[in-house]
Amino acid sequence: MIPLFKPYMPKQLPEMENILQSGQLAFGKWGQEFEQKLRDYIGVENLMTTCNFSTAIQIAVTAIDLEPGDEVIASPMSCLNSTMPLRAFGLNVVWADIDPKTGTLSPKSVEEHITEKTRLIFHNHFCGYIGYVDEINAIGKKHGIPIFDDCVEAFGSKYKGHVAGNLGTDISIFSFQTVRLPNTIDGGAIIFKDRQLYDKALIVRDQGIRRNIFRDADGEISPNCDIYMRGFAGTMSDVNSYIGCLQMEALPELLVKQKSNAVRWQEKGIFCSLLRDEVEPNFWIYGMLVDNKRKLLRQYKANGFGCSGVHLPNSCYSVFGDQGQFPGIMEFHNRFLAIPCGWWME
């Protein structure tokens, strides 16, 4: 069976033993190097890594001063890894409908769900297929509401020639969990358009500590350094960061392989239904809109291809409350099927 997802790991980790025995396992040299490799690839400055994706979301919402009870508009057609941290923070997640042709937020539905309580629009790029960025960002600007680009599955995807994370959005968030590219076994990253928010988030990521005044001249914790912001133990370790550095070296070749696999599917007459002219996906998966979804799923599996609908609409989970039915969500969920397109396919 060719799997739908598979973790990539370099065959050789030449510095790993040295790192493990170095006495420096927390964020340090390799953490800084991985962050710089990410900045260079995406073409941004205000980027930080985190220990995982959930923490990245919580750091970001803390940095923009969201409080429990605030409303955030999001797509139910998302990974729970994206939506659950919002709910766990105490935010009221308000679902907007999606475009059933793309799996991403409908700008019209987002506009319709904005109220005086709306404090954030959380824009998921479903399975690496970038959504309506310009339209959603324009809505946020019109209403003075920040936009988060949820790039949980979208590293390396492009929109109008620009790579995800560099699309002019207020904040972009990435996952480096095991089946992502790159993967650091676990990890995440946040990109801020605003430098002041980035500087604030650096403190939030480090338990609210301002390291430049945290210790006195004798190296002792200074009682004069107040902790005035909530924070998290959110830095990525040097072990994970080193793996990320090696992953970044392999990333261009792996993405080329995935795009090549997409061409091979097209040559077989199997077409990706989610493509738009302005979007160049990373082909984390090859997405189709089909009739007889369950029948085709069984056929692909019988022929040795892992396949899945990937995500269940999060609107079905009671933790988010009953918000009714969404026609775009139901149409998309009933038709969407993903087949393998990863770097491991021969």
346 pLDDT band, cuts 50/70/90, is confident
What pLDDT score does 247 carry? 98
When pLDDT is averaged across residues 113-138 and rounded to a whole number, the result is 98
When pLDDT is averaged across residues 270-288 and rounded to a whole number, the result is 96
Pair of tokens at residue 191: 């990109």
Residue 320 lies in a domain: no
When pLDDT is averaged across residues 65-77 and rounded to a whole number, the result is 97
Residue 172 lies in a domain: yes
Domain that holds residue 145: 15-250
Residue 20 lies in a domain: yes
268 pLDDT band, cuts 50/70/90, is very high
Residue 299 lies in a domain: no
What pLDDT score does 115 carry? 96
For residue 119, CA distances in Å to 94, 98, 195, 212, 244 come to 11, 20, 20, 32, 33
Q: What is the CATH number of the domain that holds 226?
A: 3.40.640.10
CB contact at 8 A, 163 and 157: yes
What would the pLDDT profile of 28-42 be if each residue is shown by its tens digit?
A: 999 999 999 999 999
pLDDT above 90 for 294? yes
What would the pLDDT profile of 94-118 be if each residue is shown by its tens digit?
A: 999 999 999 999 999 999 999 999 9
Residue 167 lies in a domain: yes
What's the mean pLDDT when you consider all of the chain? 97
Residue 257 lies in a domain: no
194 pLDDT band, cuts 50/70/90, is very high
What pLDDT score does 174 carry? 99
Residue 129 lies in a domain: yes
Q: Specify the pTM.
A: 0.96
Residue 204 lies in a domain: yes
What pLDDT score does 272 carry? 94
pLDDT above 90 for 305? yes
Task: Quote the number of domains for the chain.
Answer: 1
When pLDDT is averaged across residues 223-252 and rounded to a whole number, the result is 96
What pLDDT score does 244 carry? 98
120 pLDDT band, cuts 50/70/90, is very high
